[in-house]
Structure 1
């Protein structure tokens, strides 16, 4: 009887604690909450502060896809490179995936932009299954070489964009809404139209 009275008096507190536990313990629940925050305007990528382009030697920075094909960033000179580091267990990574997929759909037939979604754990089978289950078409890769800290320090997710000359034009640690028109316009500007 006492337990029922306590529960009735504290139902809001019990529900709040249960909600917090779900958010903390279930990655998809946390990702859903973060995705909602992105949709109402939080976590917008800031391309306006990316004025200073840093020169980067991309030679020897390699990634491998599920087909075993090796990509060396140095060989992609003349193309804009959109590189995203993520993992399947990372809630912020999961939260930004729908916006990344939407951005990819916008440019997937554009041969002047290359998208690389690098699973930081290097588990291509697991990452590919994750993409299939969620009906994302993002090209999944695994890191096959050393990555300079200027590009990736280990923070997940991390997104970098290189211009056609291989200069680091955008660097963002943490999640963001990449379906934002500012990013679309930024990529179009980098590719030259």
Structure 2
């Protein structure tokens, strides 16, 4: 990727764990709510717990002396998040990708307990359901985590794109994968849900399952259109088709979206906008944020009903 393009395509990672995780789910996810006897059997759980926690201490309840010694040992280590071991509350091993997905679930229903030995040579992280009090704190914490941090590129760009809200949506034309031309002007009279993205953007992929649920919900509804301009100029229809075989994305994909992204002041990706039937931008933000996605999902039916 050329420097000029790299400067343009700033990915708002949103999750600090992206750098240590291959986004593709390389390991099979565990059925957290499994009713299999071996999963829920008390004796089986106790046996697994004894093996997993053998020689380990719960860091939340460890003595100050233990924590001091562990921190000193940790300073000599180079642990990555992916190097640690993750378990369900039943002490069933889960892959890092699943742990990350559950821990950052915006409902806040999952918290974790960390265990380690004093030499920091072994660590185990055990997921469990949050208590109501923990869940309330977790949701508040996650909202703060996902909120754009002052002075960052995502916060600066968020301010820029928010200025479009309440104004006429800039018109542009993109070419769909089947060669058709689609413009904002041609879609006037419909609610337009707009997503700027590119194939090498991890947070873009992160939000796609949620975006797909919006498309599914309004399938057959002619009053709403889901349009996703891909913003890298060199990306071809073949490139996108290859991507879609790996990552389902059910928006109508448009090619040649760089000029469109420029019109919408987008420098950070992904970027989402909702345009009402009169062609007015009613919502716009950049970066991956599940709470903003939730708000987007609530905005769509309101605008359809207007």
TM normalised by structure 1 equals 0.71
Q: Following TM superposition, by how much is the alpha carbon of 1:143 offset from its aligned partner in structure 2, in angstroms?
A: 2.9
Q: Following TM superposition, by how much is the alpha carbon of 1:150 offset from its aligned partner in structure 2, in angstroms?
A: 5.9
**Which of residues 2, 7, 13 is equivalent to 2:77?**
13
Q: 1:64-99 CA distances to partner (integer Å, 9 max, x unpaired)?
A: 111100001111111011110111111111111111
Closer, same or farther in 2 for the Cα pair 1:56/1:107, shift >3 Å?
Answer: same
1:55 correspondence with 2:167: yes
Instruction: Give the match for residue 186 of structure 2.
Output: 75
1:158 correspondence with 2:271: yes
Q: Which aligned segments of 4 or more residues in structure 1 are displaced greater than 6 angstroms?
A: none
The 5 A counterparts of 1:35-184 are 37-39=104-106, 40=108, 42=142, 53-56=165-168, 58-59=170-171, 61-122=172-233, 123=235, 124-143=237-256, 146-147=259-260, 149=262, 151-177=264-290, 180=294, 182-184=295-297
Tell whether the 8 Å contact from 2:192 to 2:276 is kept in structure 1 after alignment.
Answer: yes
Q: In structure 1, what is the Cα distance between the partners aligned to 2:80 and 2:222? A: 49
Q: In structure 1, what is the Cα distance between the partners aligned to 2:247 and 2:209? A: 9
Secondary structure of 1:15's aligned partner:
coil
Q: In structure 2, what is the Cα distance between the partners aligned to 1:134 and 1:145? A: 21
Aligned length: 170
Q: Following TM superposition, by how much is the alpha carbon of 1:147 offset from its aligned partner in structure 2, in angstroms?
A: 2.7
Mark the structure with the bigger radius of gyration. Answer: 2
Q: Following TM superposition, by how much is the alpha carbon of 1:58 offset from its aligned partner in structure 2, in angstroms?
A: 3.8
Closer, same or farther in 2 for the Cα pair 1:101/1:17, shift >3 Å?
Answer: closer
In structure 2, list runs of 5 or more residues that go unmatched. 1-72, 85-95, 109-138, 148-161
Tell whether the 8 Å contact from 1:86 to 1:156 is kept in structure 2 after alignment.
Answer: yes
Closer, same or farther in 2 for the Cα pair 1:146/1:88, shift >3 Å?
Answer: closer
Q: Point out which structure has higher relative CO (alpha carbons under 8 A, 6+ apart).
A: 1
TM normalised by structure 2 equals 0.47
Q: In structure 2, what is the Cα distance between the partners aligned to 1:144 and 1:156? A: 12
C-alpha RMSD of matched pairs (Å) = 3.5
Secondary structure of 2:80's aligned partner:
helix
Q: 1:100-151 CA distances to partner (integer Å, 9 max, x unpaired)?
A: 1111111132111111111111423222322222333332111368337562
Q: Which moved more, 1:103-112 or 1:32-41?
A: 32-41
In structure 1, list runs of 5 or more residues that go unmatched. 1-8, 21-28
Q: In structure 2, what is the Cα distance between the partners aligned to 1:56 and 1:35? A: 39
